[in-house]
Amino acid sequence: MKQSFDNFFELQQAKSDEIALSEKLRDTARWMMSVSGKPEFESRQEVYFPILEDWRAAKKRLIELESKAIKHYNTSIKTEYAIELEERRALKEASVTSSTYERAQKRLFNEVSGFVCGK
């Protein structure tokens, strides 16, 4: 249980980091583009691109943590009753499938026998 709390806080921290970097990136982009076409544009790019790389790394980490959390959430522990229901459902499907298969085989055999015997 403690690990799920740790994962939750780690996920929340990653989200807040990504949001903060996203806002910083947006502000830096505006600042950089305000001098587009001017000589200081290149020097401002040197400030923008490291922030962009940090944001990409934070976004990648956030996506990884979210996918791990989703995977952890989806793998729930099955109760004995749920396992029993699954087994009953599988058995029912197998019996329906086998009886349907047997009827189809019998029908096919009768058709082939009728064709071969000339009925």
Q: Cα separation of 73 and 50, whole Å?
A: 34
Do 66 and 18 belong together in one domain? yes
The reported pLDDT for the residue numbered 80 is 84
Do 69 and 27 belong together in one domain? yes
The reported pLDDT for the residue numbered 119 is 62
In the chain, the number of structural domains is 2
Do 72 and 96 belong together in one domain? no
pLDDT tens sequence for the chain (119 residues)? 455 556 788 889 999 999 999 999 999 999 988 888 888 888 888 999 999 999 999 999 999 998 888 877 766 677 888 888 988 998 888 777 677 788 888 898 888 888 788 76
Burial 61-96 (b: 16+ CB within 10 A, else e): bbeebeeeeeeeeeeeeeeeeeeeeeeeeeeeeeee
Nearest in space to 8 (alpha carbons), one of 79, 16, 55: 16
Do 91 and 69 belong together in one domain? no
Do 34 and 91 belong together in one domain? no
CA angle, residues 5, 10, 25, in degrees to nearest 5: 155
Do 71 and 89 belong together in one domain? no
Do 5 and 57 belong together in one domain? yes
Q: Which domain holds residue 113?
A: 78-119
The reported pLDDT for the residue numbered 35 is 86
Do 108 and 65 belong together in one domain? no
